[in-house]
Amino acid sequence: MHHVIFANLVTLSAGSSGGTALNPWELISHASSVVMLVLLVLTGMSVVCWFIIGAKVVRLSQASRESSRFLDRFWDTEQGNVWSVQRLEGLYASIPRDKRSPVASVFHAGYVELARVLGGSDESSRSQRHYGGDIDNVARALRRASANEVTTLESMVPFLATTGSTAPFVGLFGTVWGIMNSFINIGAHKNASLDVVAPGIAEALIATAIGLAAAIPAVMAYNYFVRRINVLASEMENFSSDYLNIVRRHFLAG
């Protein structure tokens, strides 16, 4: 009896010492079709998320920078607390048409609506006079422009939230499938040794790891971008209020 136990221990020791370490790339290349599909989906989601992150970092940085520059120009336009259409026209003409900031786009919409409400084609009829008119038209134009800018800034950002909430579950599905295959192999080989169990479990854990690697940066980037967009939305809202006050005092006082 002792000789049999000793022989089994020697055999097990020799098998474990002669085994090779598991290579993650080999496990991925030899993964089952379902797990391979899961890995491809997670990799695609991760690549798209990093593309969105890079594009949004550039876009939001540019929007913040250009909005700050526009606000500086806008308030520098005021001289002696006296505003005129000519001054607004000069500011309107200085806005680049191909690359406006969100706040500048709101001003663009408000100025166009103000010019339409005031009417008149000559500058003398639109300079320093006070008009009776519906200020709600200008307010609606400002709100509509602000909503459009927020929608543009938020484009593609929901995909980050989708990835952050679904990628762990997609990876978990790959994990469950890999463990299930491991138990199937145990039943097929009538053997529960590590050589039979380890590849399937390692394959399953790789799916979980890739799912987390795709989800964590997506969630962090989503929270960061939402905060940046909220800051820009607040700037547009504050500017709209200030612009309406200027319009009421100097152009549509009645």
pLDDT in tens, 11-25: 434 444 444 555 655
Max Cα–Cα distance, the chain, nearest Å? 115
Q: What is the mean pLDDT of the chain?
A: 78
Q: Among all chains, which residue has been given the structure tokens 């939305």?
A: 233
What Cα–Cα distance (Å) separates residue 173 from each residue in 6, 26, 27, 47, 204?
42, 20, 17, 20, 9
114 contact partners, CB below 8 Å, separation of at least 6: 88, 138, 247, 251
First-to-last alpha carbon distance for the chain, in angstroms, is 110
Flag whether 188 is in a domain.
no
Into how many domains does the chain fold?
A: 1
pLDDT in tens, 28-59: 555 667 778 888 899 999 999 999 999 999 99
Instruction: Answer positive or negative: Cα dihedral of 152, 156, 157, 162.
Output: positive
pLDDT in tens, 111-154: 888 888 877 544 444 444 444 446 888 889 999 999 999 999 99
Flag whether 85 is in a domain.
yes
Flag whether 202 is in a domain.
no
Flag whether 7 is in a domain.
no
Flag whether 177 is in a domain.
no
Flag whether 187 is in a domain.
no
As to burial, measured by CB atoms within 10 angstroms (0-12 exposed, 13-18 middle, 19+ buried), residue 108 is: middle
Flag whether 238 is in a domain.
yes
Flag whether 195 is in a domain.
no
242 contact partners, CB below 8 Å, separation of at least 6: none
Domain that holds residue 221: 31-166+210-250
Which whole number is the average pLDDT over 66-76?
A: 86
pLDDT reported for residue 1 = 45
pLDDT reported for residue 59 = 93
Of residues 116, 111, 109, the one with CA closest to residue 133: 116
